[in-house]
């Protein structure tokens, strides 16, 4: 079997660790594995699959001989993605730096794998909420043509990294002890609370996270005028993002037909049995790679409307797994 030399930039972070786990679980054909990080972590040792790796420093000379370079996120890709391409590697970037660049494919393999064919060395991994959103939306769009979508997200604290997890734990303990919740990561206490504010506010008083869902979805689906409105909310859940999605279609699609379509869709698991109180929940979708869909029902307030409830692990499918699937799809399409 042919193997590929792989580097991970940001190997010590949450997404970097999930990339390592995913490469092993999915048996990706790794030849040399090169783990890279900032000056703070360079030189440290890390165990992976019974082998000790020394973490290297991310610089312009770190990519020689690599076939694939995963950037786990952050601004570092703006500095080092092009040097990695110049060294002969394909870059799969988890940051937002290249997502809306018209010369860079923005790819979810279950949705638009054909966009990989025109890459010029860099492929962008979409925002976690967008990935979860489009995996459920695309098969329904193919069936009945989506006209308008209203999506509200309920996003886990791990979307803000390890520090978000630590803040929820710390604040929960503080509040239960009757002391004031100390804030470091989020603008308000997240324990026992919801915060309708993720990232910075931008045009029209929408947040950057909300605009990501709009603009990235339009690009991935190749429908630049698709009408989408989003509200993104941080919730006191450790892992897995949830989304309430209201869809208006050009043609009639029944709830029964939607269940049938989604049950056959790649990467989707339908959990929809209200009589037995079965529906997707973050607690039961964490550490899995599929997108779970339930609460599928017709919206009687509009013609041709549906409501669905979607949940997925945003660190896995929403980040690391999708990035690895991009590399796997490139191998299948003879692009690596």
Q: pLDDT tens, 94-126?
A: 999 999 999 999 999 999 999 999 999 999 999
Q: Kindly state the percentage of the chain with pLDDT values over 70.
A: 100
Report the pLDDT averaged over residues 219-228.
Answer: 98
pLDDT at 48 over 90: no
Q: pLDDT tens, 259-306?
A: 999 999 999 999 999 999 999 999 999 999 999 999 999 999 999 999
Predicted confidence band at 249 (pLDDT cuts at 50, 70, 90)? very high
Tell me the fold of 130-314. Dihydrodipicolinate Reductase; domain 2 (3.30.360)
Stretch among 114-123, 155-164, 241-250 having the lowest mean pLDDT: 155-164
C-alpha closest to that of 298 among 267, 252, 260, 331? 252
Catalogue the long-range contacts made by 208-215 (C-beta closer than 8 Å, 24 or more residues apart).
209/127, 209/129, 209/153, 209/155, 212/96, 212/99, 212/127, 212/129, 212/130, 213/127, 213/129, 213/130, 213/133, 213/151, 213/153, 215/100
pLDDT of 41? 87
Q: Kindly state the percentage of the chain with pLDDT values over 90.
A: 93
pLDDT of 129? 98
What is the DSSP-derived secondary structure letter of residue 7?
E
pLDDT at 19 over 90: yes
Report the pLDDT averaged over residues 33-57.
Answer: 91
Report the pLDDT averaged over residues 183-206.
Answer: 98
pLDDT at 148 over 90: yes
Report the pLDDT averaged over residues 145-153.
Answer: 98
What does the mean pLDDT of the chain come to?
Answer: 97
The whole-angstrom separation of Cα 272 and Cα 294 is 4
Q: In the chain, where does the domain assigned CATH 3.40.50.720 lie?
A: 4-125+319-332
Tell me the fold of 4-125+319-332. Rossmann fold (3.40.50)
pLDDT at 90 over 90: yes
Q: pLDDT tens, 49-78?
A: 888 999 999 999 999 999 999 999 888 999
pLDDT of 309? 98
pLDDT of 62? 96
Report the pLDDT averaged over residues 188-217.
Answer: 98
pLDDT at 1 over 90: no
- CB-based burial, 67-80: b 16+ in 10 Å, e otherwise: bbbbbbbbebbeeb
Instruction: Give the active site residues.
Output: 128, 241
Q: In the chain, where does the domain assigned CATH 3.30.360.10 lie?
A: 130-314
The whole-angstrom separation of Cα 283 and Cα 293 is 14
């Amino acid at each position: 079997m042919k193997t590929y030399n792989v580097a991970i930039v940001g190997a010590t972070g949450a997404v970097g660790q999930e990339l390592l786990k995913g490469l092993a679980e999915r048996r990706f054909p790794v030849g040399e594995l090169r783990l890279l990080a900032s000056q703070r972590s360079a030189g440290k040792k890390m165990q992976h699959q019974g082998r000790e790796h020394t973490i290297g420093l991310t610089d312009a000379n770190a990519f020689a001989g690599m076939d694939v370079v995963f950037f786990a996120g952050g601004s570092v890709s703006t500095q080092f993605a092009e040097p990695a391409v110049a060294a002969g590697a394909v870059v799969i970037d988890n940051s937002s730096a290249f997502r809306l660049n018209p010369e860079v494919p923005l790819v979810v393999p279950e949705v638009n794998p054909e966009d990989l064919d025109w890459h010029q060395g860099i492929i962008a991994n979409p925002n976690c909420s967008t990935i979860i959103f489009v995996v459920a939306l695309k098969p329904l769009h193919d069936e009945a043509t989506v006209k308008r979508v209203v999506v509200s997200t309920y996003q886990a604290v791990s979307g803000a990294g390890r520090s978000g997890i630590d803040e929820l734990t710390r604040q929960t303990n503080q509040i239960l002890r009757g002391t004031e919740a100390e804030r470091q990561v989020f603008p308000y206490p997240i324990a026992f609370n919801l915060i309708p504010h993720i990232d910075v506010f931008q045009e029209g008083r929408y947040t950057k996270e909300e605009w990501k869902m709009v603009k990235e979805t339009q690009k991935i689906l190749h429908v630049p005028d698709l009408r989408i409105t989003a509200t993104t909310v941080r919730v006191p859940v450790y892992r897995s993002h949830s989304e309430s999605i209201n869809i208006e279609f050009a043609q009639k699609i029944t709830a029964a037909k939607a269940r049938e379509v989604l049950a056959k869709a790649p990467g989707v698991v339908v959990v929809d049995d209200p009589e037995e109180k079965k529906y997707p929940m973050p607690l039961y979708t964490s550490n899995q790679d599929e997108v779970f869909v339930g609460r599928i029902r017709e919206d009687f307030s509009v013609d041709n409307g549906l409501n669905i409830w979607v949940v997925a692990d945003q660190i896995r499918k929403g980040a690391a797994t999708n990035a690895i699937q991009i590399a796997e799809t490139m191998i299948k399409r003879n692009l690596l």
